[in-house]
């Protein structure tokens, strides 16, 4: 890289007009980069506000289908479902997680019947079904790894059977990607993609999400024995390498904005399809500040999402997906 000395080089030349700025722009944010997370509830024709996520609602399956139709019309390639399960169905064994007729699986079937062209991603983790709010089975206060994997495999197969295109294991147990991949192959689900939450940190930015899925009350303790220490970067690379070697098709870094260095490192090292999750707390921060008039919602939405592209991400899970898709559609 060479740069002439001033005044031969003047960086402001390429910033002078919109045309020159567009011409020299290094990253681009497009509708193809978006995965829209949606919260599902039981019932008919109902939308519930989530106080800690202004502008995001929990939707009944009929409304989710309508949202999927809207997403498809806007060109959003994928949606991701998170069920808010009836507390009466939450147990220590989490059997509801692999019931073919649980809320998530019913929603997948309804969406694939009505909007087959949109990719449907599901969450593989036990927390929506667990009486204690953890992503894994708990015995004597310990989150069990290998027993949890057996449960996750059953859950993954039920989701694949329901028609999910992408499974998103968000549980952080060791060995789950390989176990799921082998089980999917054996069951004939050869084309179901695994988007591994490979580098998922034990983060305080998930707070509003736990409200949204109704897990905050149930959760005892924290998730630090399975989710990553926010201080670690080398470990993130080792986890991504491990998950790719076990058969993950795509990998994710989560949360997003505080972990952009990890996104860049992962993309540079492996060149695999790399995603980031702009999580509930990030959305809450930006929207709360915007509600106070302290930040401009649309500008920070676009700037924060562009940052993921600059950091090397191929796509972003974001609660802004619909809004940003609409905005991108009106540009030029």
Active site residue 112: no
Residues 6+ apart with CB under 8 A from 208: 50, 52, 53, 280, 281, 283, 284
Measured CA angle at 66 (ends 61, 67), to 5 deg = 90
Cα–Cα distance for residue pair 172/221, rounded to 1 Å: 16
Stretch that binds ligand PBG, among 60-68, 119-127, 158-166, 263-271 (CB under 6 A): 119-127
Stretch that binds ligand PBG, among 104-112, 121-129, 150-158, 174-182 (CB under 6 A): 121-129
| SS3 assignment, position 55 | coil
Assess 327 for contact with ligand PBG (CB under 6 A).
no
CB atoms within 10 A of CB 226: 18
| SS3 assignment, position 56 | coil
Assess 96 for contact with ligand PBG (CB under 6 A).
no
Q: Measured from the CB of residue 169, what is the shortest distance to ligand PBG in angstroms?
A: 9
Output phi, psi for 3, to 5 deg: -135, 130
Tokens of 80: 């991701």
Tokens of 221: 């303790």
Cross-strand partners of 254 = 200
Catalytic residue among 200, 223, 267, 309: 200
Nearest residue (CB) to ligand PBG, 60 versus 280: 280
Binding mask 211-240 for ligand PBG (x = CB under 6 A): ------------x-----------------
Nearest to 76 by CA among 27, 120, 25: 120
Catalytic residue among 90, 112, 223, 254: 254
Assess 170 for contact with ligand PBG (CB under 6 A).
yes
Cα–Cα distance for residue pair 122/165, rounded to 1 Å: 8
Tokens of 250: 């795509």
Residues 300-310 as b/e (b if ≥16 CB within 10 A, e otherwise) read: bbbebbbbbbe
Cα–Cα distance for residue pair 247/182, rounded to 1 Å: 9
Nearest residue (CB) to ligand PBG, 209 versus 275: 209
Cα–Cα distance for residue pair 258/272, rounded to 1 Å: 21
Nearest residue (CB) to ligand PBG, 33 versus 211: 211
Assess 201 for contact with ligand PBG (CB under 6 A).
no
Q: Which of 36, 201, 209, 320 binds ligand PBG (CB under 6 A)?
A: 209
Name the CA dihedral angle for 157, 228, 282, 331, rounded to a multiple of 10 degrees: -60
# residues near ligand PBG by CB under 6 A: 11
Assess 127 for contact with ligand PBG (CB under 6 A).
yes
Assess 123 for contact with ligand PBG (CB under 6 A).
yes
Q: Which residues in the 279-298 window bind ligand PBG by CB under 6 A? A: 279-280
Assess 38 for contact with ligand PBG (CB under 6 A).
no
Q: How far is CA 34 from the centre of its chain?
A: 10
Q: Which of 35, 52, 120, 135 binds ligand PBG (CB under 6 A)?
A: 135
Q: Measured from the CB of residue 105, what is the shortest distance to ligand PBG in angstroms?
A: 17
Active site residue 200: yes
Cα–Cα distance for residue pair 145/93, rounded to 1 Å: 14
Nearest to 120 by CA among 63, 202, 54, 192: 192
Q: Which residues in the 263-282 window bind ligand PBG by CB under 6 A? A: 279-280
Nearest residue (CB) to ligand PBG, 60 versus 170: 170
Q: Measured from the CB of residue 83, what is the shortest distance to ligand PBG in angstroms?
A: 11
Q: Which of 131, 161, 193, 210 binds ligand PBG (CB under 6 A)?
A: 210
Residues that bind ligand PBG (CB under 6 A): 123, 125, 127, 135, 170, 206, 209-210, 223, 279-280
Q: Which residues are catalytic?
A: 200, 254
């Amino acid at each position: 890289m060479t740069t002439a000395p001033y005044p031969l080089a003047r960086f402001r030349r390429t910033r002078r007009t919109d045309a020159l700025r567009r011409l020299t722009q290094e990253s681009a944010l497009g509708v193809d980069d978006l995965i829209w997370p949606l919260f599902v509830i039981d019932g008919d024709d109902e939308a519930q506000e989530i106080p800690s996520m202004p502008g995001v609602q929990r939707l009944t399956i009929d409304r989710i289908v309508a949202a999927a139709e809207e997403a498809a019309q806007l060109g959003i390639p994928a949606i991701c479902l998170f069920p808010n399960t009836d507390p009466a169905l939450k147990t220590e064994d989490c059997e509801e997680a692999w019931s073919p007729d649980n809320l998530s699986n019913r929603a997948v079937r309804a969406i694939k019947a009505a909007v087959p062209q949109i990719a449907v991603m599901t969450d593989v983790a036990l927390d929506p079904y667990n009486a204690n709010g953890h992503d894994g089975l708990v015995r004597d206060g310990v989150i069990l790894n290998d027993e949890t994997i057996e449960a996750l495999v059953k859950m993954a197969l039920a989701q694949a059977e329901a028609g999910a295109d992408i499974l998103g294991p968000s549980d952080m147990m060791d060995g789950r990607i390989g176990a799921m991949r082998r089980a999917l192959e054996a069951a004939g689900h050869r084309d179901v993609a695994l988007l591994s939450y490979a580098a998922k940190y034990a983060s305080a930015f998930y707070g509003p999400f736990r409200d949204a899925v109704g897990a905050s009350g149930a959760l005892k303790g924290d998730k630090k024995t399975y989710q990553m220490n926010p201080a670690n970067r080398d470990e993130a690379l080792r986890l991504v390498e491990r998950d790719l070697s076990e058969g993950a098709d795509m990998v994710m870094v989560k949360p997003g904005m505080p972990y952009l260095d990890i996104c860049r490192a992962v993309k540079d090292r492996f060149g695999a399809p790399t995603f980031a999750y702009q999580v509930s707390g990030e959305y809450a921060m930006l929207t709360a500040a915007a509600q106070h008039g302290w930040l401009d919602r649309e500008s920070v939405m676009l700037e924060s999402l562009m940052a993921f592209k600059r950091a090397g991400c191929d796509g972003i899970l974001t609660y802004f997906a619909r809004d940003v898709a609409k905005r991108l559609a009106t540009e030029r």
